[in-house]
Amino acid sequence: MVSDTTSRPLKTDEMIINMGPQHPATHGVLRMVLTLDGEIVTHAEAVIGHLHRAQEWQGQNRTWFQYQALIDRVDYLSGMFTSWALARSAEVLDGCEVPERAEFLRVIVSEMNRITSHLLWLGTYLIDLGAMFGFPFYPFREREKLLDLFEEIAGQRMMFNYIRIGGVQRDPKPDWFTRLRAFTKEFPDRVDEYEAIVTENPIFLKRTKGIGILPLELAMDYGVTGPSLRASGNNLDLRKTKPYSIYPKLEFKVHTLDKPEGGDTWDRYILRIRELRESTEIIKQCLDMIPEGPIMNKKQIAGMRVKAGEGFSAVESPRGTLGCYIISDGSDKPFRFRWRNPSFCNLAVVGEMLVGSPIADIMAIFGSVDVILPDVDR
């Protein structure tokens, strides 16, 4: 009898846990269905769609002019990039030239936006890791300064509606450039401070090194783009690989980490930190090179039309390749819209990355990929 019970393996069951949609750390409304063996995740599935707002359908039912104002909401942390993707696709269709000053302004504001997006990620990621009371305020402080600048040119802090089809909306005052220049001067010091607190912190290293490894093949299979892909060793960055706008004129480096076994969460962190510095450099160059001239080449009127045809363009957003595909029938409304959102693909791979890690690492891994839920659901 006794030997019988001991020889029989202990009956264990897998446990299914729902993480989210109401959980303090799931960055919005994501629901994750986790199958757990003890504390180890054996299967993870992201249930999306809680934030679906029919952005594509809305585009087909609004005029061009109206929809320009709506698309900042697709990815609310990098509204400049969504605007830019739309504007570029429409310009491809329309064949309208963008004035040079407008291109420079676009690069400046979108690199600023990349900085704000990465800064917000940095703060919230540290919250995910438990540094809840001190550090997260510092990135937000710098972000606030950039948002003030955005507010001055675009009118709002997150929903910019600044990059328009054919140019940009408003020419900043000289004072604005001075302030931006001052910011770029002091910002690298601030990044040094972040690094002093975080980068080599032993607890941070323990929480991130070797966690959530994303092999390059897996990343390519899932179509992961952006810093997450570059941390795994691929140097896909549309600014360099498929240059657009004035990026060919600028000198900058695309940071990649050469990791044969795939990047871990720490690599993704350090890559974003390097991008922060790189973007600052780009802004500095643009501020030196920006020419005078007009900023808008298309009349912004309510009945704005775009020539008929199909157009696609992609920009490198803070989260990866952001593509916009449009069919226009020549009327004042787009005929068909299609967004290619980086977060959607990046989230898909998280399920694979989670397998085999303990529950406590879920947030460390999920956070490191930098997924914005509205960008996933649209």
Backbone angles phi, psi at 282, to 5 degrees: -60, -45
Closest by CA to 92, choosing from 281, 328, 332, is 328
**185 makes contact with other proteins (CB under 8 A):** no
94 contacts 306 by C-beta, under 8 angstroms: yes
**197 makes contact with other proteins (CB under 8 A):** yes
**135 makes contact with other proteins (CB under 8 A):** yes
Q: How far is the CB of 98 from other proteins (least distance, A)?
A: 19
- The C-alpha atoms of residue 48 and residue 377 are separated, in whole angstroms, by 7
**218 makes contact with other proteins (CB under 8 A):** no
**203 makes contact with other proteins (CB under 8 A):** yes
Among 47, 54, 308, 360, binds other proteins (CB under 8 A): 360
160 contacts 293 by C-beta, under 8 angstroms: no
Token pair for 329:
């029938």
Task: Give the interface size with other proteins as a residue count (CB under 8 A).
Answer: 55
Among 32, 93, 119, 129, binds other proteins (CB under 8 A): 129
- The C-alpha atoms of residue 193 and residue 177 are separated, in whole angstroms, by 25
**266 makes contact with other proteins (CB under 8 A):** no
Closer Cβ to other proteins, 70 or 92, answer by number: 70
**5 makes contact with other proteins (CB under 8 A):** no
332 CB neighbour count, 10 Å cutoff? 16
5 contacts 13 by C-beta, under 8 angstroms: no
How, if at all, do strands 31-37 and 15-19 pair? antiparallel
**297 makes contact with other proteins (CB under 8 A):** no
Closer Cβ to other proteins, 14 or 217, answer by number: 14
User: What one-character-per-residue DSSP string does 76-122 give?
Assistant: TT-HHHHHHHHHHHHHHHHTPPPPHHHHHHHHHHHHHHHHHHHHHHH
Token pair for 138:
């510092």
Closer Cβ to other proteins, 156 or 241, answer by number: 156
The torsion defined by the Cα of 39, 128, 262 and 219, in degrees rounded to 10, comes to 90
Residue span binding other proteins (CB under 8 A) among the ranges 75-83, 123-131, 234-242, 256-264: 123-131
Q: How far is the CB of 99 from other proteins (least distance, A)?
A: 19
Q: How far is the CB of 161 from other proteins (least distance, A)?
A: 6
Q: How far is the CB of 141 from other proteins (least distance, A)?
A: 5
Q: How far is the CB of 155 from other proteins (least distance, A)?
A: 4
Among 301, 307, 308, 336, binds other proteins (CB under 8 A): 301
41 contacts 358 by C-beta, under 8 angstroms: yes
- Binding residues for other proteins, rule: CB under 8 A, are 17, 23-25, 62-63, 65-67, 69-70, 126-135, 137-138, 141, 144, 148, 151-156, 159, 161, 170, 193, 196-198, 200-204, 206-207, 300-302, 358-363
